[in-house]
Amino acid sequence: MKKYDVIVIGAGNGGLAAATTCARAGLSTLLLERHNIPGGSASSFVRGRFEFEPSLHELAGVGAKDKSGQVEDMFRRFEGDVEWYRHDSTFRLVVPAKEGDTDTFVNENGVEVSIDVRMPVGFENFARKLEEVVPGSYESCIKAFDLSIRMFKALDALDAPAKLPASFKDFPDILRMVSHNITEALDALGMPKKAQDIFNTYWCYLGVPASRLDFLYYLAMLHSYVQHGTGVPHLRSHELSLALDKVIRDNGGDIWYNSEVTKVIMENGKPVGVVINGEKEVYGKYFICNSYPYAVFRDLFDEKDIPEKQLKMLNARETSVTLTTVYLGMNVTKEELGIKDYSVFIAPVSDSDEQFKLVTEYNSGYCIINCLNEIIPDCTPEGTCQLFLTTMTSGDVMKDVKPQDYKKFKTEIAKDMIETCEKALNISITPYIEEIEIALPPTFARYLNTPLGTPYGYMLDKWDSMIPRTVQYLNDQPFDNFFFCGATQERGDGYSCAYYTGEKAGGLVVKAMKKEGK
């Protein structure tokens, strides 16, 4: 029986990157996926005459036309063929006025708001716009982006553990910031509160509010969005997955779909193989897992084989937030709807911690509306457009919903999200809906096999954020031949983060095999 150099469990973004890295290095590689297509969240689906993007809002790190970013560079290293469509703005934040607000105005849509701002690409542009909206914020914003530039240099040092003592002497201010959350750091930089609320808009992409989220991690993410803008693949995120599928196969790797790993085979205290679909045994030397650790240890290991440190880690970590998305195929154009932006964040309050409190349940008034046609005009048939609306929730929001009430429940949630967008932007959506699909946490749980359907992994609290996870990465792996990648690892949720962790895990296996003379 063939024994593979490396077996990768799960063909999500991280698993695809890991298998690509190993296959291109000449290792005999097997990628196993329980679904019949690759990608996990990076896929697409068709309803009627519309093909929808399931999860990708925008991908930071693609870069500008004349200067590639980290993600585009990675796909070039992989030799993955992707047609990128780029977007040269970040976000629009709309906070409708509420009773008691004193500093309000009527926006271009005729809605009374306390905040309505479109933030541009480019550090200088972003800072000047923030200064325009909140006088006195320019200097602190520029200082923050200056820190972000040095932050990426520090991250390079973190990924070279042997150099840590010498490298960090060059980053004293980074070390001072490591233990601080966003609010503490921005207060220290002197940024006004209203400016902080705008600056913190992307907190939801990490699922942690400003009082809990590591400042340097958020700064690294914001840097990636603001530096050159964002991008999306022409053929939805499934184009990314299919590109890597092809690279793996072209480099001699095997990919087996409809192949669910149901057991990890152990010998002498370490993994030596896996059981597929409860029947077939396949053996390997190294293993990379792009699945949720909680589910992996619950379903694939005997309790006696789980390292004690893993049990302690699982008990200490908190499951992150969940998502609900409404996909809409519209029988009119975005211009006819009155939509001018790709990504609009609608929030009932501007403070991220207050937003986080509100999303512990549905009907919070928090919603993100995206129109893919703003970036890819031909993503829908002529005379139409597609929207997707997203909100987040925390905890088990479905626990009191009975099966017989599920359809009615999700319809009411979708109606509320649509009305939130209609009121905030003073547009009419409901009469023009041709196709609608609604994905609640159980939908994501079915496809992602994660607790409550979270795509985010574990909550990135200060004690368990990017830098401590990066420093402890090797110590946190369960066995010396078994590595995790994906949203549960050091960089949390996000396509680029998952690709990074997959490439890193694959690189560790390649390095280990080279030491063994492979």
Per-residue pLDDT tens digits for 217-265: 899 889 989 998 889 999 999 999 999 999 999 999 999 999 999 999 9
Angle at 467 between CA 492 and CA 390, to 5 degrees: 25
Tell me what pLDDT residue 163 has: 46
Express as a percent the part of the chain with pLDDT over 90: 76
Per-residue pLDDT tens digits for 305-334: 999 999 998 889 999 999 999 999 999 999
Instruction: Assign 156 a pLDDT band (cuts: 50, 70, 90).
Output: low
Residue 59 pLDDT > 60, yes or no? yes
Q: Does the model's pTM come out above 0.85?
A: yes
Nearest-angstrom CA–CA distance, 247 and 251: 6
Tell me what pLDDT residue 501 has: 95
Instruction: Assign 481 a pLDDT band (cuts: 50, 70, 90).
Output: very high
Instruction: Assign 167 a pLDDT band (cuts: 50, 70, 90).
Output: low
Tell me what pLDDT residue 165 has: 47
Radius of gyration of the chain (CA): 23
Instruction: Assign 65 a pLDDT band (cuts: 50, 70, 90).
Output: confident
Q: What is the 3-state secondary structure (H, E, C) of 463-510?
A: HHCHHHHHHCHHHHCCECCEEECCCCCCCCCCHHHHHHHHHHHHHHHH
Per-residue pLDDT tens digits for 428-461: 999 999 999 999 999 999 989 999 999 999 998 8
Q: Which of 227, 216, 197, 203 is nearest to 148 (CA)?
A: 216
Strand order in the sheet with 59-60: 59-60, 230-233, 84-87
Residue 111 pLDDT > 90, yes or no? yes
Tell me what pLDDT residue 176 has: 72
Residue 224 or residue 171, greater confidence: 224
| CB atoms near residue 489 (< 10 Å) | 27
Q: Which of 472, 29, 487, 503 is nearest to 293 (CA)?
A: 487
| CB atoms near residue 153 (< 10 Å) | 12
Nearest-angstrom CA–CA distance, 142 and 377: 34
User: Residue 214: beta bridge partners?
Assistant: 181
Region for residue 477 given its phi and psi (left: phi exceeds 0; alpha: psi -120 to 50; beta: otherwise): beta
Please name each of the domains of the chain with its CATH number: 3-42+235-318+458-515 (3.50.50.60), 121-227 (no CATH)
Which class for 300: exposed (0-12), middle (13-18), buried (19 or more C-beta within 10 A)? buried
